[in-house]
Amino acid sequence: MDSNKKLFLLDAFALIFRGYYALIKNPRITSKGMDVSAIMGFTNSLLDVIRREKPDYLAVAFDKGGSHARTEIFPEYKANRNETPEAIEIAVPYIQKILKAMHIPIIEQLGVEADDLIGTLAKQAEKEGFQTYMVTPDKDYAQLVSENIFMYRPARMGNGIEIWGVDEVKKKFEIEHPEQVIDYLGMMGDAVDNIPGLAGVGDKTAKKFIAAYGSMEGLLENLNELKGKMKEKVTANAELGLLSKQLATIKIDCDVTFNAEAYKLSAPDAEKVTTLFEELEFRRMKDQFFKLFDADGNPATPETVKPSQVRTKSTAGAGQFSLFDAGDDQSNASKTTSRQTIDSTTHHYQTVQTSGLGFKLFLQNLTAQTSVCFDTETTSLDPLVAELVGIAFSWEKTNGFYVPFPEDRQEANTLIQQLLPFFESENIEKIGQNLKYDIKVLDKYGVTVKGPLFDTMIAHYLINPDMRHNMDILAETYLNYTPVSITELIGKKGKNQLSMRQVPVEKQTEYAVEDADITLQLAAHFTPELKEANTMELFNTIEIPLVKVLSAMEIEGINLDKAFLNSLSSELSQDITKLENNIYEQAGETFNIGSPKQLGIVLFEKMKLVDKPKKQKPDNIPRLKMYYPTLPRTIKLLPIF
Amino acid sequence: MPAQVNPNTQRVHTDYIQTVAATGRLSSNNPNLQNIPIRTERGRQVRKAFVPRNNDHVLVAADYSQIELRIIAALSNETAMMEAFNNGEDIHATTAAKVFQVALDDVTREQRSHAKTVNFGIMYGVSAFGLSNQTNLTRSESKELIEAYYKTYPKLKAYMSAQVDFARENGFVQTVLGRRRYLKDINSANAIVRGAAERNAVNAPIQGSAADIIKIAMINIYKKLNDGNYKTKMLLQVHDELVFDVPKNELDIISKLIKHEMENAFKLDVPLDVELGVGDNWLEAH
């Protein structure tokens, strides 16, 4: 039997909750107002496992209707739980749809919890020679770990993934066999699941008891060896202890059957996945998803799981494209998307010749309009150093013009003079996305933009303040249209990235006029929405006039005392070194103060500032401050990093 | 920050972002002015580095004092608090006198400091737990203090509840100028999630109204400076403060202009108060 067959079993709710709470302070909201944090968190974990580990077999287990077996013996089990947040309730059907589209089996059974399902399946798969990885942050699973069953804790907050095998579990819990995790959990209890445990027994005592007596039963048989209060308490709670152990035991005899064939990871239905991601407005996730298909050229060796074996192409079904061997499908994203693009839309974008009769006619036409969208193309994201490469104009849907600018500054200045009647017209409304940028660029050419303004970025900020406002997202959300991406035009960030100036003028035209066209369409879309939200006045009397005020302030800048600043910088770095040394002295070791994890270990485990830190997070620090006067020194250092 | 000096102008050109903070406030980048600490020695040193363009100019910093507290007093129509502002009283001392039921002259430093913490904490939905962390009070003392506070300012409490009710019904709250913040979690069954939305229902209109008001002031001042052909330039906006580069010969008239425009940017039932400072660097002016 092939000892390298890897099975990954995911605990859906553990990952969903984790994703949801990770984003609780800054949740992901779609334009329709739906909180998709939980869906995103889960899907991220799923794609991450697939990307890193390239599993052969994978399935996802869901809780459904609590645990009948456990509430039967202990009605209070998980009775203290808060209502599930709506965002999570909404998330589950979506996640199941995504899984179905990816052809990943969903395991659920009414009245049975995911850990019991996973426990049962893992043990069955072990007998068939599989290596099983239980993907979950929940430490309770440690009891199932064996030679061939591992816990796989996904990456989180900068910490890498963790894989717990037998040795890791033994070390973490200070026990001899992973099954003793059950005794440990039974003694400790679990506030989250409302498992009572033995009163007065915490982490340390539980470990001590297990070291001495081996198990809950062993402890109860040797009650006479205990002393004082502890003896009383444990004796009185003996039954509760046994019950707790029973509650903490993950079942390995549920009514499910491991079916290798069904769990085999196969090619997903890319079209369905795309449609779902688009509905959820998962732009980056979609890109990542299609990168997974793209791994043919360089199948990465799994980073962590050992033993490992790189998959070979032959594992793909004949004629069918496998998850990792999709070959050349750079174009997959656009092929399968339902969104319009420049290629699927009839459009008329023209490059304007900047001399002769044609240009005259263009200028006549431009200045005869009452409302025009414009967009500058430049050499830099910083408007104060950017040079004009061209300006796009659009006043009619799917139509527009591009005026390319010469590199020679003198010639550019002459050309812009001819556009002054437009820019300085008090009557023509100027539409744009982030107009402050264009205003600042044009200011360097001596152009003051006058007349009414309509900024689509600001309009959307008033309509939907919590969403993101960049043009590509707005276009996809409100116009169901994916604009040409800037990286297609000038390449990815880095030293090989082209300047807009180096792009052939026909391509500049297509790209730039598309932007102006799309922005014009967005403005038409947002105008009634601003009215509906009663924010038109706020838009026209505050936010829009403020654009010009802020532009002027930014262009003006402020003087800095550079000599003073330089001496301050060197003083600061000396201070930092001093503070660091002071901290290392108190901690008795050097460590990375910038790492919350390492700081947590020093503060809570080594220096034991708090007996039972619930979470090693900075929130705990203010409370500590009163008792530990030395601490502010550490804290003072934190914001500097 | 030295790296952010523009090589052509030899000045630093902050980039303001108008669309990031959902409350309506501005944020800034390169450098981010918001995260220069206000009260620490380092923050003070950094402010010292911001200077006028030359010796003929000074920096003027104009700061709205207690603007959020004034807004909540006016919006809640809390007479006791409005009176204190209208009479130009020290609001924290007045609050302390009322809450601890002592004569104004008998308010101790500590009592004033506690009152101040509650005054600022209340609109962020401070809990007894939070208050006990910020002060030397125990949790039960903090709880009593908050209860006494609400008794002192009953309309404030009523206003806060009304905001939450409004949000529940409409799904959003709004500022004095109708800037909306949508709170879709306001009816969540999960207490933690709902609690955060409820605090936002109270806080967003206050912070957002403060943002509205300083924005009006900026627009009006900018216009006045242009119309009057003054050489003074408005340079920075951070928190509730505006910073100007002012030629010394314009100082008197400009100081009056700034104070007048800021204090009259928006009519509330309590006066807006602006503190103005002048100096050879931002620290001195601040």
Q: Best-predicted range by mean pLDDT among A151-165, A252-266, A625-639?
A: A252-266
Q: Domain containing A366: what range? A: 348-556
Q: What is the CATH number of the domain that holds A606?
A: 1.20.1060.10
pLDDT(A619) > 90:
no
Q: Which two structure tokens, joined as six digits, stand for A318?
A: 């004949």
Any B CB within 8 A of A635 CB: no
Do B72 and B127 share a domain, yes or no? yes
Any B CB within 8 A of A26 CB: no
A121-134 confidence digits (pLDDT tens): 999 999 999 999 99
Do A526 and A594 share a domain, yes or no? no
* C-alpha distance from residue A161 to each of A60, A172, A324 (Å): 18, 16, 22
Tell me the C-alpha distance between A419 and A424, whole Å.
Answer: 9
Q: What is the CATH number of the domain that holds B11?
A: 3.30.70.370
* C-alpha distance from residue A594 to each of A25, A581, B31 (Å): 22, 14, 22
Average of per-residue pLDDT across A369-381: 96
pLDDT(B7) > 90:
no
Do A601 and A513 share a domain, yes or no? no
Contact A465 B180 (CB under 8 A): yes
Any A CB within 8 A of B113 CB: no
Residue A318 falls within a domain, yes or no? no
Amino acid code (one letter) for A320: Q
B180-206 confidence digits (pLDDT tens): 999 988 988 888 888 889 999 999 999
Do A586 and A458 share a domain, yes or no? no
Distance from CA of A95 to the nearest CA of B (A): 21
Residues 220-259 (B) with a CB less than 8 A from some CB of A: 222, 233-237, 243, 245
- Candidate from A550-559, A580-589, B160-169, B209-218 with smallest mean pLDDT: A580-589
* Single residue among B189, B210, B231 that ends a domain in this structure: B210
Tell me the C-alpha distance between B281 and B272, whole Å.
Answer: 26
pLDDT(A336) > 60:
no
Q: Which of helix, strand or coil describes residue B275?
A: strand
Q: Which of helix, strand or coil describes residue A286?
A: helix
- Size of chain A, expressed as the number of residues it contains: 641
Do B151 and B217 share a domain, yes or no? no
Q: Best-predicted range by mean pLDDT among B29-38, B39-48, B75-84?
A: B75-84
B45-99 confidence digits (pLDDT tens): 889 999 999 999 999 999 999 999 999 999 999 999 999 999 999 999 999 999 9
Contact B191, B185 (CB under 8 A): no
Across the interface, of A461, A469, A561, the residue whose CB is closest to B49 is: A561
CA A223 to chain centre: 51
Any A CB within 8 A of B29 CB: no
Distance from CA of A228 to the nearest CA of B (A): 33
A186-218 confidence digits (pLDDT tens): 998 887 777 888 888 888 889 999 998 999 988
Tell me the C-alpha distance between A97 and A36, whole Å.
Answer: 14
Higher pLDDT: A591 or A281? It is A281
Do A461 and A593 share a domain, yes or no? no
A441-460 confidence digits (pLDDT tens): 999 999 999 999 999 999 99
Residue A173: HSE in the Cβ half-sphere, 13 Å Cα cutoff:
29
Do B78 and B198 share a domain, yes or no? yes
Do B98 and B199 share a domain, yes or no? yes
Closest C-alpha among B81, B62, B88 to residue B119: B81
As to burial, measured by CB atoms within 10 angstroms (0-12 exposed, 13-18 middle, 19+ buried), residue A75 is exposed
A136-188 confidence digits (pLDDT tens): 988 899 999 999 999 999 876 656 788 999 999 999 999 999 999 999 999 98
Do A568 and A622 share a domain, yes or no? yes
Q: Which ranges in A128-195 belong to alpha helices (H)?
A: 166-173, 180-188
* Single residue among A499, A532, A556 that ends a domain in this structure: A556
Q: Domain containing B161: what range? A: 68-210
Do B204 and B88 share a domain, yes or no? yes
* Single residue among B210, B230, B259 that ends a domain in this structure: B210
pLDDT (0 to 100) of residue A641: 29
Residue A13 falls within a domain, yes or no? yes
pLDDT(A375) > 90:
yes
Do A434 and A474 share a domain, yes or no? yes
pLDDT (0 to 100) of residue A80: 67
Average of per-residue pLDDT across A526-534: 93
Contact A629, A619 (CB under 8 A): no
Tell me the C-alpha distance between B242 and B282, whole Å.
Answer: 11
Do A615 and A635 share a domain, yes or no? yes
Using CA coordinates, name the residue in chain A closest to B235.
Answer: A553
Do B202 and B74 share a domain, yes or no? yes
Q: What are phi and psi of B118, to 5 degrees?
A: -70, -45
Q: pLDDT averaged over chain A?
A: 83
Q: What is the CATH number of the domain that holds B175?
A: 1.10.150.20
Q: What is the CATH number of the domain that holds A32?
A: 3.40.50.1010
Q: Best-predicted range by mean pLDDT among A72-86, A337-351, B257-271?
A: B257-271
* Single residue among A512, A529, A556 that ends a domain in this structure: A556
- Percent of chain A residues past pLDDT 70, beyond the cut: 85
Number of structural domains found in chain B: 2
Contact A535 B45 (CB under 8 A): no
Do A417 and A538 share a domain, yes or no? yes
**Which residues in chain B have their CB less than 8 angstroms from residue A464's CB?**
182
Number of structural domains found in chain A: 3
pLDDT(B249) > 60:
yes
Do B205 and B81 share a domain, yes or no? yes
Do A536 and A452 share a domain, yes or no? yes
Do B226 and B202 share a domain, yes or no? no
- Candidate from A103-117, A181-195, A257-271, A298-312 with smallest mean pLDDT: A298-312
pLDDT (0 to 100) of residue B180: 95
**Interface pTM, i.e. ipTM:** 0.95
Any A CB within 8 A of B281 CB: yes
Q: Which ranges in chain B belong to alpha helices (H)?
A: 41-48, 67-76, 79-86, 91-99, 109-122, 128-134, 139-152, 154-170, 191-227, 251-263, 282-285
pLDDT(A639) > 60:
no
Do B201 and B228 share a domain, yes or no? no
As to burial, measured by CB atoms within 10 angstroms (0-12 exposed, 13-18 middle, 19+ buried), residue B216 is buried
As to burial, measured by CB atoms within 10 angstroms (0-12 exposed, 13-18 middle, 19+ buried), residue A139 is middle
**Residues of B with catalytic roles:** 63
Tell me the C-alpha distance between B98 and B214, whole Å.
Answer: 31
**Which residues in chain A have their CB less than 8 angstroms from residue B190's CB?**
82-86
Residues 423-482 (A) with a CB less than 8 A from some CB of B: 436, 457-458, 460-462, 464-466, 469
- Size of chain B, expressed as the number of residues it contains: 286
Question: With bands split at pLDDT 50, 70 and 90, how would you rate the model's confidence at A602?
Answer: confident
Contact A547 B188 (CB under 8 A): no
Any B CB within 8 A of A21 CB: no
Contact B2 A565 (CB under 8 A): yes
Higher pLDDT: A597 or A514? It is A514
pLDDT (0 to 100) of residue B133: 82
